[in-house]
């Protein structure tokens, strides 16, 4: 309110009289019945007052408006339809929009995945409680508790404006409890956490299944999930291992750069998405940029699917190709054959050629890439 009006209370009738100075110095007594609790009853009273006062002043109208606004039904308060300043402080503290959270993370929406935890016992913000020990040890806490109980007892028989004033008093007293506790027992809040420099070895291994495909173990780039994790934390990983040639992380990131460049060289669109994501762009910005550059408009969901699923699988497949070639050239003697269609020499392996029992080497003469390309054209 822009002005404070002098008021006096008629105790017998529970009426408030507001002294309003009208133009010319004339004083008008507004008889506002605060025992009326329903908006309809107060609206009827205000309409009757306005009918008796044809030319009300701004101060007059402001007082009547406050009289109507303060009459919020108890049911509406229970349903929290009224967002008070105190309620909004709680909402803003505990809730945030998806877009608001994404905008604060370095890797955008992908940073959310790194925050997820399956441990339901994790406490992100401990709740402060007033315990019996606090009441016994902190000076003045017992008096506050006694005052709250006294006003709560009076609230049971109060109504109208009197109940509103008592509720406000109880709220302030409850706030004072936490102010007093924080002053006497200052809470410990971690603001600067010292990061450990202990290096974790990034070990990897593999074995072959019955079909001859690689089954990766540990931190292996043949695993799409590992590739996805590296992509989502690429900037942090490069920063952590910069110039640290003795760390496993440096060699992991170096291998990743080589494998990713080779895997995405034939996919310029995917390569651009990776660049934009590492630079911290959001999907909506990436959608606009690739539309301008490639003339293709993908949905935000599809871009996210490419980033989380398709691109990691392509990079992991390239890593598997390199592992197979290294293994069958160094650890075991592998056989290679030329595709009769594209002429490319490839490892005679189930990944590159489909099995054919009638063939001498057990594989078709046409590689899988050419067979799949022909099937798509048909």
pLDDT in tens, 162-219: 888 888 888 888 888 888 888 887 766 665 555 555 667 788 889 988 888 899 999 9
The SS3 call for residue 261 is helix
Which residue is listed with tokens 């799409």? 224
Check whether residue 304 and residue 221 sit in a common domain: yes
- Does 81 fall in a domain? no
Of 3-7, 78-82, 361-365, give the lowest mean pLDDT range: 3-7
Report how far residue 68's alpha carbon sits from residue 28's, in angstroms, rounded to the nearest whole number.
Answer: 19
Number of domains in the chain: 4
Would you state the structure tokens that stand for residue 303, as one six-digit string? 């871009």
Higher pLDDT, 219 or 64: 219
Range(s) of the domain holding residue 267: 204-333
The SS3 call for residue 252 is helix
Strand-pairing partners, residue 338, are 345
- Does 108 fall in a domain? no
Strand ranges (DSSP E) for 109-180? none
Report how far residue 63's alpha carbon sits from residue 2's, in angstroms, rounded to the nearest whole number.
Answer: 10
User: Other CB atoms closer than 10 Å to residue 144's CB: what's the count?
Assistant: 18
Q: What DSSP character marks residue 186?
A: -
Top mean pLDDT of 16-20, 82-86, 262-266, 358-362 is at 262-266
Check whether residue 268 and residue 326 sit in a common domain: yes
Report how far residue 304's alpha carbon sits from residue 167's, in angstroms, rounded to the nearest whole number.
Answer: 49
Contacts 24+ apart (CB under 8 A), 337-340: 337/361, 337/363, 337/365, 339/365, 339/366, 339/367, 339/369, 339/370, 340/365, 340/366
Check whether residue 257 and residue 324 sit in a common domain: yes
Check whether residue 222 and residue 305 sit in a common domain: yes
Check whether residue 267 and residue 219 sit in a common domain: yes
Mean pLDDT across the chain: 78
Check whether residue 265 and residue 189 sit in a common domain: no
pLDDT number for residue 83: 60
pLDDT number for residue 16: 45
Confidence of residue 262 (pLDDT cuts 50, 70, 90): very high
Single residue among 193, 220, 245 that ends a domain in this structure:
193
């Amino acid at each position: 309110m822009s002005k404070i009006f002098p008021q006096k209370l008629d105790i017998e009738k529970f009426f408030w009289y507001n002294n309003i100075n009208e133009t010319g110095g004339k004083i008008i007594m507004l008889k506002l019945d605060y025992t009326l609790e329903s908006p309809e009853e107060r609206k009827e009273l205000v309409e009757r007052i306005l009918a008796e006062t044809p030319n009300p002043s701004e101060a007059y109208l402001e007082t009547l408006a406050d009289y109507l606004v303060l009459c919020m039904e108890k049911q509406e308060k229970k349903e929290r339809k009224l967002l008070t300043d105190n309620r909004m402080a709680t909402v803003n503290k505990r809730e945030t929009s998806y877009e608001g959270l994404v905008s604060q993370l370095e890797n955008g929406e992908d940073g959310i995945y790194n925050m997820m935890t399956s441990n339901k016992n994790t406490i992100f913000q401990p709740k402060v409680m007033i315990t019996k020990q606090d009441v016994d040890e902190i000076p003045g806490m017992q008096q506050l508790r006694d005052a709250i109980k006294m006003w709560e007892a009076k609230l049971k028989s109060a109504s109208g404006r009197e109940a509103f004033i008592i509720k406000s008093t109880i709220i302030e007293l409850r706030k004072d409890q936490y102010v007093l506790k924080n002053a006497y027992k200052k809470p410990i809040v971690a603001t600067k956490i010292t990061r450990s420099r202990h290096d974790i070895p990034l070990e990897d291994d593999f074995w072959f299944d019955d079909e001859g495909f690689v089954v990766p173990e540990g931190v292996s780039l043949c695993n799409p999930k590992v590739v996805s994790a590296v992509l989502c934390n690429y900037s942090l990983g490069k920063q952590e291992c910069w110039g640290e040639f003795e760390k496993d992380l440096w060699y992991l990131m170096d291998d990743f750069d080589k494998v990713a460049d080779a895997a995405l060289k034939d996919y310029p669109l995917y390569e651009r998405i990776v660049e934009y994501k590492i630079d911290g762009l959001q999907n909506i910005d990436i959608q606009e940029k690739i539309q301008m550059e490639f003339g293709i408009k993908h949905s935000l969901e599809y871009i996210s699917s490419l980033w989380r699923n398709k691109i990691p699988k392509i990079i992991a497949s390239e890593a598997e190709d390199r592992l197979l070639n290294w293994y069958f050239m160094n650890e075991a003697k592998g056989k290679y054959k030329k595709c009769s269609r594209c002429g490319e020499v490839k490892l005679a392996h189930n990944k590159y050629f489909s099995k054919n029992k009638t063939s001498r080497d057990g594989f078709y003469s046409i590689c899988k890439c050419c067979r799949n390309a022909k099937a798509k054209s048909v």
